[in-house]
Chain A
């Protein structure tokens, strides 16, 4: 680990049984998100906060507007497909005045991938949500411009969500030589 986050972020240490997250910005975050059900988690670099999907945009707004935190910069917004466990939508926040980092996560069940848009909180979320929507099939309600971003405009690909694990890789034929085919699966995991 070579990154030093000014002592504000999670630092690796031996896990003690009841982790109070005292060395992180968790106390401030917890104070800010009073009426929201949140759960902290350590990661290698930043603190992760899990917020239920119903409260996430409200929570993000609170984090942005809180005087002590001021998460006014949305670094990145994406999703992670956990297959059976649903899709995690991940927000990476940064506070320009305070230099805090925070990761906010919310889990969407596979049968209800609908989430409120974060565009009222940060304009930056606009294109990032469009990309997440087309790549993972997450619907962001209230999004001002819900067109696809990277996928073709002229073909209807509303059912195609390439970054879901269920979406296959493109099958590349092994064309070399005399169209030789052989079993590559045996090599897996060497």
Chain B
């Protein structure tokens, strides 16, 4: 009987404590800067074009083959009287978020710091009704960075 009473005292003590519930949809916990949701592409605000040159490094390193990259000649390149030093630039970029396993390898292999893991809640809340809607195309991948909604964290 003593042990049962002791158990009941423990539950009584938690009764008096503050609940630990986080009321999720209303209150978002502040995410740490290193938080990894899904990868997205970064926008070079100085030149107004993506950082990504479509070099396929991330595509090759991806363990689950969730990326598709196609490059093109950069119309903004200095040879075309543009401001950019990038000879090639990304044309099409698809990431299948449904297949991505968020391993961060694409970020690590990127030579141009053009890809980063989304560390905002927007990156986590990606529910859709159709699985194919999770295949993100280039504008979608760039949107957050273009709108300066993200402060990316990339390990040095």
A and B, direct touch (CB closer than 8 Å): yes
Contacts of A172 in B (CB 8 A): 65
B70 contacts partner chain A, Cβ-Cβ < 8 Å: yes
Within 8 A of B (CB), among A176-190: 176-177, 180, 182, 184, 187, 190
Secondary structure call for the B interface: strand
A35 contacts partner chain B, Cβ-Cβ < 8 Å: no
Within 8 A of A (CB), among B60-85: 60, 65-68, 70
B87 contacts partner chain A, Cβ-Cβ < 8 Å: no
In this complex, how many residues of chain B approach chain A with their Cβ under 8 Å: the count is: 13
Within 8 A of B (CB), among A49-92: none
Contacting pair A177 B65 (CB below 8 A):
no
Q: How far is the CB of B97 from chain A (nearest CB, A)?
A: 10
Contacting pair B60 A190 (CB below 8 A):
yes
Stretch from B2-10, B16-24, B88-96, B114-122 contacting the other chain: B88-96
Q: How far is the CB of B137 from chain A (nearest CB, A)?
A: 7
Cα–Cα, bound, A177→B135 (Å): 7
Cα–Cα, bound, A130→B57 (Å): 41
Which one of B60, B67, B70, B137 lies within 8 Å of A187 (CB-CB)?
B60
User: What are the interface flags for A149-190 relative to B under an 8 Å C-beta threshold, 1 for contact and 0 otherwise?
Assistant: 000000000000000000000001011110010101001001
Which one of A180, A187, A190 lies within 8 Å of B94 (CB-CB)?
A180
Secondary structure call for the A interface: loop
Contacting pair B68 A176 (CB below 8 A):
yes
Contacting pair B94 A176 (CB below 8 A):
yes
What is the interface of chain A, defined by CB distance below 8 A to chain B?
172, 174-177, 180, 182, 184, 187, 190
What is the interface of chain B, defined by CB distance below 8 A to chain A?
56, 60, 65-68, 70, 92, 94-96, 135, 137
Q: List 27 A-B contacts (CB under 8 A).
A: A172-B65, A174-B65, A174-B68, A175-B96, A175-B135, A176-B66, A176-B67, A176-B68, A176-B94, A176-B95, A176-B96, A176-B135, A177-B68, A177-B92, A177-B94, A177-B135, A177-B137, A180-B68, A180-B70, A180-B92, A180-B94, A182-B68, A182-B70, A184-B60, A187-B56, A187-B60, A190-B60
